[in-house]
């Protein structure tokens, strides 16, 4: 009886089968842990890319030329005549939205929609320095009235809008889903700053 028990304890013929049963679960656990870390890293990349895009947008040329070129001297905004040196009210600009395909007014008033393609490309390139996976179609830039800026400003555009840079429709492909060709949607990211000089093509971070 004692020899049979010791023989049973020394028998390792079932170890390989047990290992085969446990291995898939172990791989799923390890790869899942890696995926969680990669997902958090991708979220951080997207957030930082959005912040850099907003910083770039507020100190370089607007994506719609009229933001920089429109003069509000002697303009009538909401029944109020704006003269030289007056503050430009928030109501002077509704919502101007720009994507890779151009700019559109989603809420009036709107000075114009002449798309500055080189400015968009520079913005997208800046964001891709942080997250190379960003596509042009993922970027949306919005200009809204802020109540800042003054008519006839000799050094900057008359209006100083709030600029919001968004990243939309981004996805993440976990290692555990690569074989299935599946991906996970990321939340939209947005970051807003008030326009500064809004001219030129350089920004310092």
- Count of the separate structural domains present in the chain: 1
Residue at 200 is within a domain:
no
**Would you say residue 21 lies in a domain?**
yes
- Residue 205 resides in a domain: no
Statement: residue 6 has pLDDT above 80: no
For residue 5, tell me if it sits in a domain.
Answer: no
202 falls within a domain: no
Q: Say whether pLDDT at 29 is over 60.
A: yes
Please give the pLDDT value at position 201: 60
Report if residue 3 sits inside a domain: no
Which pLDDT tens digit goes with each residue over 68-96?
999 999 999 988 999 999 999 999 999 99
Tokens of 76: 């009538």
Are the C-beta atoms of 28 and 22 separated by less than 8 Å?
no
Residue 6 lies in a domain: no
Task: Kindly state whether residue 151 falls inside one of the protein's structural domains.
Answer: yes
**Spatial distance between the Cα atoms of 201 and 99, rounded to a whole number of angstroms:** 18
Share of the chain above pLDDT 70, in %: 87
CA 65 vs. chain centroid, Å, equals: 22
* 3-state secondary structure (DSSP) of residue 107: strand
Q: What is the pLDDT of residues 41-67, one digit of tens each?
A: 999 999 999 999 999 999 999 999 999
Mean pLDDT of all residues in 8-24: 63
Record the tokens describing residue 86, joined without a space. Answer: 């007056």
Nearest 5°: phi and psi at 122? -65, -40
Q: Report the predicted TM-score, pTM, of the whole model to 2 decimal places.
A: 0.83
CA–CA dist 139, 128 (Å, integer)? 11
- Could you please report the per-residue DSSP string of 27-85? HHHHHHHHHHHHHHHHHHHHHHHHHHHHHHHHHS--SBHHHHH---TT-EETTEE--TT
What range does the domain containing 95 cover?
11-194
């Amino acid at each position: 009886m004692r020899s049979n028990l010791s023989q049973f304890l020394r028998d390792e013929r079932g170890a390989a089968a047990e290992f085969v049963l446990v291995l898939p679960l172990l791989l799923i656990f390890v790869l899942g842990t890696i995926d969680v870390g990669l997902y958090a890293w991708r979220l951080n990349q997207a957030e930082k890319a959005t912040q850099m895009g907003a910083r770039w947008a507020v100190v370089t040329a607007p994506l719609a030329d009229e933001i920089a070129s429109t003069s509000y001297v002697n303009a009538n905004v909401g029944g109020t005549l704006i003269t030289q040196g007056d503050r430009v009210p928030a109501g002077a600009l509704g919502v101007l939205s720009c994507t890779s395909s151009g700019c559109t007014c989603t809420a009036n008033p709107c000075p114009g929609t002449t798309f500055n393609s080189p400015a968009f490309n520079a913005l997208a390139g800046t964001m891709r320095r942080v997250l190379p996976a960003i596509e042009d179609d993922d970027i949306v830039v919005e200009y809204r009235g802020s109540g800042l800026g003054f008519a006839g400003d000799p050094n900057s555009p008359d209006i100083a809008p709030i600029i919001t840079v968004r990243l939309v429709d981004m996805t993440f492909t976990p290692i555990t889903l690569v074989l299935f060709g599946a991906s996970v949607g990321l939340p939209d990211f947005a970051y807003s700053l008030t326009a500064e000089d809004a001219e030129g093509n350089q920004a310092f971070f």
